[in-house]
Structure 1
Amino acid sequence: MSVPAREPYKVGNGPPSSEALCFFVYQNITATMKLGRRPALTKNFVLEYTPPAHKGKMEETIQKLLPGVRKQESLSRHTTFRIGGPARYFFTATNSDAIIRALQAAKKLRLSVFILSGGSNVVMSDAGFPGLVIQIRNSKFKIRNFRVDAEAGVLCSSLVKATVHRGLEGLEWAGGLPGSLGGAIRGNAGAFGGEIKDAVVSVEAIDEKGRMHVFSKKQCRFSYRSSIFKEKKYIVLSAVLGLVKGDAKELSKIARSHMLYRKERHPLEYPNAGSMFKNCDAKKLPVRWKKHFANVMKIDPFPVIPTAAIIAAAGLKGLRVGNVQVSQKHPNYIVNLGKGRAKDVVRLVEKVKQKVKKKFGIVLEEEIQFV
């Protein structure tokens, strides 16, 4: 794609998620992808992308700054949805120093940046990403008494297994939760009445200028599926979690039950990005429909109507565009039936939103991020 020198290359990202850790040089936004094109940009965001005057020199420089960086790496290989075109440059950072080096290299070469961790909760564009994708793979953690010091790239499943085995209570609700700790913190992941914020003591993050920050739990500004790390320009590097003493057998039983629940009710047999929409706040439900959905209301962590129930009631199970489909098993999932495309996901999401709004007057809000 040809872009004139110093002409802003406009890239938008959709609703933020618990896993993608989207970080750009400037400001995160909410946007939607238009059919066949890159995402539409909202007025408060411009991501500068200036093609180098000498491509050969750019290639040589980035290889020196980031040994091991890959060119034209297919992003479909690194996302759970198995969708996405090539990243111009792709770098795997296994520690905080590597993350900082990658950010410095991107700044020097004037490259746009996207931070990717476990690869769930994100839909990458069919066109790929024109700058540098930094994959977070710092995954060390230590458990001391009731305290867990963990890097952002550690998988939630690893933390759950290790903590419940030691009889530490506070993460058992996350049994079967996909993705990494950093993504969970960024989006304040939650399930079965629990949220990651309940265990957080402090979070270490880096800003776009390479400055380190330590946030207390209060400073993290956690809210429903959000935090300061989603709202501002920070990358989560590590966190301190505080747990309490519990019964190892009972905690293991709870974690296993959640894993089995996901296996039985979620369409894990197909590539997917996770829950497509946030659950609907029961308080925001139109009055005429509150009684209709009263029997499915749950606490998550406040009263919500599961979006899966709303989509099912709208008769949208199995709705398909191209090779992506609303899951028959769990309609808040969109599955990739094989060779699915991002633009088809966008079209399907818009169809679901339009039909739900028309039938129930409910405006669904995406939990998945579009890049």
Structure 2
Amino acid sequence: MSALERLAAALEPLGELRRAEPLARHTTFGIGGPADLFLTVRSGEALGRALTAAADAGVPVFILGSGSNILVADAGIRGLVIDNRARAEQLDGLTVRVESGASFAAFARRMCRRGLDGLAWAVGIPGTLGGAVVYNAGAYGGCLADVLRRVRIQEPSGRAEWVDAADLRLVYRGSRFTRGELRGRAVLECELELFPGDAADLVRRAAAFDAKRLAAQPRGRSAGSTFKNPPEAPAWKLIDAVGMRGMRRGDAAISEKHANFFVNEGNAAAADVRWLIEEARRRVFDRFGIRLETEVEFVGAWT
């Protein structure tokens, strides 16, 4: 019996397990080849046990939140993909604990309706709380670091412990996770400290952010903003300046509405999206000497 088969047997009690699951079904891009094993978990306990089982079997793991902010290779992902739907939530005054598979946007909306301030800017952000921690998600002048107090992280050994937010060294669209300093570790749970607010006012502010986002960003299948904004200028403006707004390769395209959104207009291949990303990066550097950094993460079996 192979390591993958032994792992599959250990995972069966923890959630819904599928083999050769097409990841295009689970990403906001609608792109991505199959996962060898695909496990859906619905509790932090099951997530932790699955991570421990994979470590014991020596099988690589990728934790999938809502499938935003990633481009999965056409060949898919080898090993185990965990579809994290652990969403338990505990509220104690202004402090809230929430598991890492909770939708960030839906959580932010609930907090607004409860009159808890600090996350109105997040109501349109795709992804999970776990992903928001990893990338220090932010918009409209706010970011998760403003309200994050601590996170519970599982070590490769299976031991879990609370880590203060300051120890994650959160920066613009980055953290110790994105810099590779916490490789093999996973966010199980977050604790946030919010502020008292007026529910009606917060709902109005959230609606205004929704309207602003809808006016500026394209509809359809994408991973969100493709590049981080460099200090010199917004990424969309640089891409527009090198003549790539609306450029296509197969069914992959750079949005006419917002040049920092790369979209799947049919049955786009991951390789074509990546070609557009690399071409935009090359042209911007050749013309302006600015190296664009991606927000979108390339995951899976790229050749």
Question: How high is the TM-score relative to the length of structure 1?
Answer: 0.76
The one-letter code of the counterpart of 1:181 is L
Q: After TM superposition, give the deviation of residue 175 of structure 1 in Å.
A: 2.1
* Cα distance in 2, alignment partners of residues 174 and 215 from structure 1: 23
Q: Which runs of 5+ in 2 are unaligned?
A: none
Contact 2:106 2:123 (C-alpha < 8 Å) held by counterparts: no
Name which of 72, 75, 82 aligns with 1:134: 82
Name which of 261, 270, 273 aligns with 2:223: 273
Contact 2:242 2:283 (C-alpha < 8 Å) held by counterparts: yes
Q: After TM superposition, give the deviation of residue 64 of structure 1 in Å.
A: 4.3
Which residue of structure 2 aligns with residue 95 of structure 1?
A: 43
Which residue of structure 2 aligns with residue 119 of structure 1?
A: 67
Name which of 162, 186, 205 aligns with 2:110: 162
Residue-by-residue CA offset, 1:284-317 (whole Å, 9 max, x unaligned): x3xxxxxxxxxxxxxxxxxxx3211221222211
Q: After TM superposition, give the deviation of residue 163 of structure 1 in Å.
A: 1.1
Q: Which runs of 5+ in 1 are unaligned?
A: 1-53, 286-304
Residue-by-residue CA offset, 1:209-251 (whole Å, 9 max, x unaligned): 2111211121121111112233312211111111111222221
Which residue of structure 1 aligns with residue 239 of structure 2?
A: 311
SS in 1 for 2:157: coil
SS in 2 for 1:185: helix
* Cα distance in 2, alignment partners of residues 251 and 315 from structure 1: 40
Contact 2:48 2:188 (C-alpha < 8 Å) held by counterparts: no
Q: After TM superposition, give the deviation of residue 351 of structure 1 in Å.
A: 0.8
Q: After TM superposition, give the deviation of residue 58 of structure 1 in Å.
A: 4.8
* Cα distance in 2, alignment partners of residues 313 and 64 from structure 1: 53
* Cα distance in 1, alignment partners of residues 277 and 7 from structure 2: 40
1:249 is aligned to 2:197: no
Residue-by-residue CA offset, 1:167-222 (whole Å, 9 max, x unaligned): 21100111211111111111001100000000011111112221112111211211
* Cα distance in 2, alignment partners of residues 109 and 166 from structure 1: 44
Contact 2:100 2:129 (C-alpha < 8 Å) held by counterparts: yes
Name which of 63, 74, 80 aligns with 2:9: 63
The one-letter code of the counterpart of 1:278 is K
1:1-371 → structure 2 map (5 Å cutoff): 54-55=1-2, 58-59=4-5, 62-67=8-13, 68-230=16-178, 231=180, 232-233=182-183, 234-268=185-219, 270-281=220-231, 285=232, 305-371=233-299
* Cα distance in 2, alignment partners of residues 65 and 347 from structure 1: 36
* Cα distance in 2, alignment partners of residues 367 and 335 from structure 1: 14
* Cα distance in 1, alignment partners of residues 7 and 187 from structure 2: 27
Contact 1:229 1:236 (C-alpha < 8 Å) held by counterparts: no
Contact 1:66 1:101 (C-alpha < 8 Å) held by counterparts: no
SS in 2 for 1:334: strand
The one-letter code of the counterpart of 2:90 is K
Residue-by-residue CA offset, 1:291-348 (whole Å, 9 max, x unaligned): xxxxxxxxxxxxxx32112212222111111110000011101000111111111111
The structure-2 alpha-carbon separation of the partners of 1:277 and 1:135, relative to structure 1 and needing over 3 Å to count, comes to same
Q: After TM superposition, give the deviation of residue 60 of structure 1 in Å.
A: 6.1
Q: After TM superposition, give the deviation of residue 97 of structure 1 in Å.
A: 1.8
> How many percent identity over aligned positions?
39
The one-letter code of the counterpart of 2:225 is S
* Cα distance in 1, alignment partners of residues 123 and 87 from structure 2: 18
* Cα distance in 2, alignment partners of residues 175 and 58 from structure 1: 39
SS in 1 for 2:136: coil
Q: After TM superposition, give the deviation of residue 112 of structure 1 in Å.
A: 1.4
Which residue of structure 2 aligns with residue 34 of structure 1?
A: none
SS in 1 for 2:214: helix
* Cα distance in 2, alignment partners of residues 153 and 65 from structure 1: 18
Which residue of structure 2 aligns with residue 291 of structure 1?
A: none
The one-letter code of the counterpart of 1:63 is A
SS in 1 for 2:207: helix
Q: After TM superposition, give the deviation of residue 165 of structure 1 in Å.
A: 1.1
Aligned residues: 294
The one-letter code of the counterpart of 2:47 is I
The one-letter code of the counterpart of 1:316 is M
* Cα distance in 2, alignment partners of residues 59 and 218 from structure 1: 40
Which residue of structure 2 aligns with residue 22 of structure 1?
A: none
